[in-house]
Amino acid sequence: MKALVQRVSEASVSSGGEVRGKIGRGLLVLTGFGRSDSKKDLEWMTNKILGLRIFSDPQENMNLSVSDIRGGILVVSQFTLHADTRKGRRPSFIAAADPAEARTMYGLFVRMLSGSGLDVQSGVFGAMMDVSLVNDGPVTIMIDSPSERAQ
C-alpha cells in the first residue's frame, strides 16, 4: 500500500461536476493498493497516518498529528502510485491490485480512518475526479506499507 500524504489548509474532490468530499485543515491522502497488500497493511497505514506528526505546535515544530489538531482527512484512490517507469515511456501498473480487490481495500481503509472520530471524506473509487487543494507548507510525504518495502 502506498499513500501520498499532503498537509492541507483545504481540499476537495469532485466527480461528474459534483463535490464528493471536502475538508478544511487536515490531510489529503492519495492512496494506491498493491497486489501483496493485506488487512495488516491497512491497519498499519491507518495508525501511521493518524499519528504522523506533521502539524506545527506553538513553537512551529512539526509535533502534532491530524488526530491532535482534530483535522479532516480526504482519501482519494490513485492506482497510479504503483506506476513502474523503469522501462520505456508508458508506465506499467502491473504491481497495482486488481480493481475489485482495490475497491474492497479502499472501502475498508476509509472505514478504518473514520473509526478515529475525525471528519473523513472520500472520493469515488475508479471515477475520473478533480482534486483541489491548498498544500500547507508545502508538506508532502510518501509512505509505503511494510509489504511495499519488502519488495
Instruction: Give the residue numbers marked as catalytic.
Output: 78-80
Are 70 and 55 contacting, i.e. CB atoms less than 8 angstroms apart? no
Closest C-alpha to 71, from 124, 106, 116, 4: 116
* Cβ-Cβ contacts under 8 Å for 44 (sequence gap 6 or more): 145, 146
C-alpha cell at 57: 505546535
For residue 91, give the DSSP letter. Answer: P
The identity of residue 54, as a single letter, is I
For residue 48, give the DSSP letter. Answer: H
C-alpha cell at 120: 473523513
